[in-house]
Amino acid sequence: MVTKTVVKPKTVLAKPKVDIERMRFNLDVRHLEELAVLAIGPYNSGKTYLMADFLKEQQKEGEVAYIDMAGEKGSLSAANFKLGDFGYRIENYTELKGVLAYLKGRKLAGVGLDSLPELVAILSKKVTGGDLWPDEPAKWNELHSTLKATIKELKATCPWVFCTTVAAIETDPEHKELTGMTIKYLAPDLPGKQARFIIGCFDMAGYLEVKKVGPKTTRAFIVDAPARLLVRQRLPNPITEKIQLGDGPGGWTAIRTRIQRALDEGGDKSE
């Protein structure tokens, strides 16, 4: 009896349909190629001024853009920085989309948006067709999705982005549901879930603290997370102390310096 040897065909592994090497990156890299910052603070805390300071520094590298949402009209706070005719005032959603598309092709060095509450008002009008907030869950979800998509589109215009929002006292509904206790914190003055999830759209979200002792006013940028502040930082070493901004220009340089320290292997050696 002749036994036949059955030769099994070789298994051919399918080649991946994506470029794996293009996707691979080094997790040890510590330099910043992009940064999206959100400044949260009360009225008259210097949010727009700090954003203009940021744009002036970025202007050393190239063209910048200041997006002024129509309801805000706070650009006078930026007048001393001599940024030039790079301001864009937005009245409605169509103009917003047009400006973002235009700026995306400009290879900007910095873009600022003032402010998020007025941006949300324009997006809500687009979703609902009127001046009232959505009145049903489906419309709220649409508004939330539209806001996230708009921030993503804003960040696509430039690697360096700065936005502002006024602060408000918010209640954490999830904490209350889990513990039965009410906890309040300072957060962006945005409706519904937006006060919480908007923080996740930025690499750094900080609170602008203003104190006045006698004739002297001091300002600081806080990115550590005390119990009652909703802030964020994505750095290898956390910045744990307040960043003092000083008087006049130079606030963004102070923040950028502390960010650089936090990128160093030794961490932020703040005093």
Q: Report the alpha-carbon distance of residue 70 to residue 22 in Å, rounded.
A: 42
Say how many C-beta atoms besides its own lie within 10 A of residue 260's C-beta: 14
Say how many C-beta atoms besides its own lie within 10 A of residue 267's C-beta: 15
User: What pLDDT sits at residue 15?
Assistant: 65
**144 HSE (CA, 13 A, CB side):** 16
User: What pLDDT sits at residue 233?
Assistant: 93
Distances (CA, A) of 85 to 58, 64, 82, 114, 150: 15, 10, 9, 16, 24
pLDDT (mean) for 156-162: 97
Q: Is the pLDDT of residue 251 over 90?
A: yes
Q: Is the pLDDT of residue 13 over 70?
A: no
User: Which residue is listed with tokens 């549901």?
Assistant: 177
Asked whether 217 and 208 are in contact (CB, 8 A), the reply is no
**231 HSE (CA, 13 A, CB side):** 22
Q: Report the alpha-carbon distance of residue 270 to residue 258 in Å, rounded.
A: 8
Encoded tokens for 96: 């917003």
Q: For the chain, how are helix, strand and coil distributed in percent, rounded to 5?
A: 35, 25, 40
Encoded tokens for 24: 């691979």
User: What pLDDT sits at residue 62?
Assistant: 97
SS3 104: helix
| Burial (CB count within 10 angstroms: exposed 0-12, middle 13-18, buried 19+), residue 231 | buried
Q: Is the pLDDT of residue 120 over 90?
A: yes
Q: Is 128 left (phi over 0), alpha (psi -120 to 50) or beta?
A: alpha
User: Which residue is listed with tokens 């001024």?
Assistant: 49
H/E run at residue 69: strand 64-69
Query: Taking all residues of the chain, what is their mean pLDDT, rounded to a whole number?
Result: 89
In 3D space, the residue among 116, 238, 125, 245 whose CA is nearest the CA of residue 188 turns out to be: 116
Report residue 128's pLDDT band, with 50, 70 and 90 as the boundaries.
Answer: very high
The dihedral built from the CA positions of residue 270, 195, 188 and 178, taken in this order, carries a sign that is negative
Domains and CATH numbers, the chain: 32-201 (3.40.50)
Can you give the length of the chain in residues?
271
Among 38-42, 149-153, 177-181, the least confident range:
177-181
pLDDT (mean) for 9-21: 73
User: What pLDDT sits at residue 144?
Assistant: 95
pLDDT (mean) for 66-85: 89
